[in-house]
Amino acid sequence: MRWPAARLVVALVLTLGACSTTPPPAPAPTRTAAPAAPKPSAGALPAPETPRTLAGLRLQAARRLVTANPGLTYTGEVPEPLLAIPVLEVELNADGSVRRIEVLREPRQAKDTIQLAIDAVRRAAPFGDVSRLPRPWKFTETFLFRDDRKFKPRTLDS
């Protein structure tokens, strides 16, 4: 008769053990490190306006570059000396999407800023319906990079 009593005890322990409540989850650890730099957000761009002139296209493109690349751009005074000054020529399709990007000026140092500028242009596209503007549908932008690799489009430097 010992075995049936032992089985009963084991069955009770297992049954009651399954009914126990789980402890509340531990609170989330607090962050003490500085937050990471904001990543560019391509989804935050408003629809582009239709530019009426090539100068208007260039200005709209510069503004979209800043809007599409928060955390990668700066405003205010341009420091001296600059880290790098790549110059890009951007050719567009009729709908304002990027057709081709050509590097017109490569900086001697900080060559990675060329790719940063190209990526910034792609994030800012499209640039509006340019089909009513005279061809070629191109604009040139000079990127003024500081030491922290943030840029300012020269078009917006007044």
Confidence class of residue 49 from pLDDT cuts 50, 70 and 90? very high
Q: Is residue 41's pLDDT more than 80?
A: no
110 within a domain of the structure (yes/no): yes
> Of 3-12, 17-26, 83-92, which one has max mean pLDDT?
83-92
- 3 inside domain: no
18 in any annotated domain? no
Query: Which pTM does this prediction carry?
Result: 0.72
What CATH number does the domain containing 79 carry?
3.30.1150
In a domain, 102, yes or no: yes
Determine, yes or no, domain membership for 26. no
Residue 38 pLDDT exceeds 50: no
pLDDT band, very low/low/confident/very high, at 86 (cuts 50, 70, 90): very high
pLDDT at 158: 72
Question: What is residue 21's predicted lDDT score, i.e. its pLDDT?
Answer: 54
Tell me the residue range of the domain where 144 lies: 54-156
Name the domain count of the chain: 1
Confirm whether 144 is domain-assigned.
yes
* Three-point CA angle 150, 64, 89, nearest 5°: 80
**Is pLDDT at 100 greater than 90 in this prediction?**
yes
In a domain, 21, yes or no: no
Q: Report yes or no: 69 and 104 within 8 Å, Cβ to Cβ.
A: no
Q: What is the pLDDT of residue 15?
A: 54
Q: Is residue 47 part of a domain?
A: no
